[in-house]
Each structure stands twice: as C-alpha cells, then as structure tokens.
Copies of this chain bind each other. A is one copy, B any other.
C-alpha cells in the first residue's frame, strides 16, 4: 500500500526538521513546502537539509509579490490595526502561505498537511482555518498538539537530542532567549525573556530596524506616497526617483524605515485562544504606509462613511488576527472595505526622522474638503445664521432631559 502523503510547512529550523523526521518515522511520505514571504532565509541550504533528511521533494515558492499585492495592500487600504496597535504582519502571512500549501497539496494529491506551529498560539488557527476553507477535505497533522509527539518532545533539549540522534544538523549560533517570526512586512518577537511583560526588550533583538537613538544624527528624509483607491501606487522622492512596483516600493520603505528605526512596538495583546501574550514587533514600511493611509482616508472619505468603514475595519482586524481572512465574513467585509476605499486617491507628503513619521500635507481630487467653505474669511455656501438653528434643534433634547431630571 502506498504511503499517505503530507505537505509539511518547512522552515529549515530545528522544530520542523524534527517534525519532518518524525513524520517519516510515522511512515508518511513528506514533501517539504517553503514559502518565501521575504524572511531572511537560506532556502538552498534548507532544501539540502530536507533532502538529506528524507523529504520526497522540496517546493520553494516565492510568494513575495502575492503577499504584498493581495494581502499587505488590502490591509493597508483598510487601515487594519488590531487592538489599536498591531499591524497584523504575521496574521496576513498565514493565509498567503496556506494558499501555497494547499495548492501544493492538490498538485501532489496529498491528503495531509502539517506545520510546526505551537498549541497555544494564533498561527496554528490561521493556518488551519485557511486550509479548511480552501480545501474542506484536507487533514491536518499538528505535532505540537499531538499527545505522543508532545510526550516525546517536552522541551528544546529533547529536540536537540533527537536531532543529534537522527543526524539533523543544528545551527551553531546559540538560540536567542526569545522566538521570532519574520516576513517582509515585519518581524515579531515573543516568548523567553519577553514573557515578563515588564522586561525591556534588549536593543540587539531588533533585526529590521536600527535604533533611533543610535541613529539620531540622521537628517530628515522626505517623500510622497501616492494612493489609488486606498492602495499605495507610487513612492516619489524629490531627487527624481519614483517607484511604482508594489514589492519594490515596500522593500524600499522597509530599508528607509529600518534605517530610521520606525515602526517598533512593544505590546500585550489578546490571543484568539483567550490568553494575553506579549509581543515586540517591527514593521517599518507597514507603519509608514499606515500613517499615510490614515491621513488620506479621513481627508477623502465622507464623515459618515468613515465611521461605518472604521467599524468594518475593527471587525476585519479581528477576523484576520483570528484566522478568518478566508471566511464568509472575511470575504464580505473585505469587499465592503474595498468599496469604501474607492475614493481614497491622492498623495501624502511624508517626512521621517529617527523614530517618527511626520505628515506634512496631503492632496486629492476626491476629497470634499473645500477651502472656500471652511475659510473664516469667506462665506460661500455656508450661512453662519444656520448654525443657530442647528444648535437650537440639537439643544431641545438636552434641555428636556435636564428639565425632567430636575423634577
């Protein structure tokens, strides 16, 4: 009888290498799937490692373009932010990877997928809900929730011993006392010493951004970000450089934002599984784009549409965080948010200084901002006398209430 095929989301690290070996021991045929979503990884070395360990095949999938255009751009367009601060860098990557993983599973007629996400985290949920949506028949092997696997590997030491026993090469670099997850949108750091929410993250933790204190002498840097229907369209510098390719634009903003130490946050957040956890994130390009988008959005959107859209954004941020990017509600609210952004077209002038993004001005042909109407020196179509009626009518309810309460 032929073996059951598993597509393993493989990173080349200790955990997924042990999982690979363990799946092979369990008599599965394993195809390793590696998504390039912009993390700093030696994919070729990982391929060799997986090959050597016994993987039938290793698929390396460059998803960077899709990730930026189909996940990051809609998130920027919607102004997605979780619990007021987190820009959802990891949450957005998971459904993107799941699409690649499921496509791979379908191509190889594999019944199973597997991943190395832990059992207390959000990522297992995001991976699996995306996978179940994309392919309701798929089956998931989650070793970190498997009783037998968990019994076998109770800590890092067990993994190291297993690795040593099975010839799994282990990086000589000592492991940092925290875990990290990287993609081109952000790096997140958690666990280890960060589990104490009152412990300051050490400065050598940050890998995408440089310290704004160390780089405090940097001169301010200016550029203009143009948006079309809510999505970034171009990045313009005064010295006649303009970038329009989404991936290129994003990487350039990462480079600049990284140099200026922009987009670092240190937060406690509520996980979907009901735990509070502490995370440190750096999202240089994402943060710059978010600041610009927020500025242009309120400029272009009608006041009431802005409010409805904001409610939908809050919903969508929870959906995405919780793993429902692909879902009836994710589809629906995503479409509504896209519709809301159709007039968010224009440009924002930005200055970055160490640690900060400053908005200098904005323009748009779609805003109802009317310089003449708002001017204190002109009346245009606005009759100040009307405000008296407006206020008096608004006051009726308040007066009646107060009078009633006084009785």
Contacts and interface: CB of A to CB of B under 8 A. Distances in A.
Interface in A303-317: 303-308, 310-312, 314-315
A399 interface: yes
A339 interface: yes
A387 B273 contact: yes
A384 interface: yes
Number of copies: 4
Given A314-B310, A339-B336, A304 B329 contact: yes
A395 interface: yes
A174 interface: no
Contact of A276 (B84, B274, B369): B369
A276 B368 contact: yes
A231 to B, nearest CB: 18
A306 B83 contact: yes
A7 to B, nearest CB: 18
A118 B376 contact: yes
Contacts of A392: 383, 386, 389-390
B195 A375 contact: yes
Nearest to A370: B400
Contacts of A339: 332, 335-336
Contacts of A306: 83, 270
Interface in A112-156: 118-120, 124-125, 128-129, 132-134, 136, 142, 144-145, 147, 150, 155
A239 interface: no
Nearest to A146: B385
Nearest to A211: B353
Contacts of A216: 216-217, 353-354
Given A129-B395, A197-B369, A393-B390, A360 B266 contact: yes
Interface in A336-360: 336, 339-340, 349, 353-356, 358-360
Contact of A374 (B144, B275, B294, B385): B275
A269 interface: yes
B191 A376 contact: yes
B398 A326 contact: yes
A19 to B, nearest CB: 14
Interface in A91-108: none
B363 A120 contact: no
A192 to B, nearest CB: 8
Contacts of A277: 374
Contact of A349 (B120, B144, B198): B198
B382 A275 contact: yes
A45 interface: no
Contacts of A191: 375-376
18 contacts: A120-B376, A128-B395, A132-B399, A145-B384, A191-B376, A195-B371, A197-B369, A198-B362, A200-B349, A213-B220, A269-B298, A304-B328, A305-B329, A336-B336, A336-B339, A356-B356, A373-B400, A387-B389
Given A200-B349, A355-B355, A386-B390, 9 more contacts: A129-B394, A191-B375, A200-B360, A273-B382, A276-B369, A276-B370, A308-B315, A327-B397, A336-B339
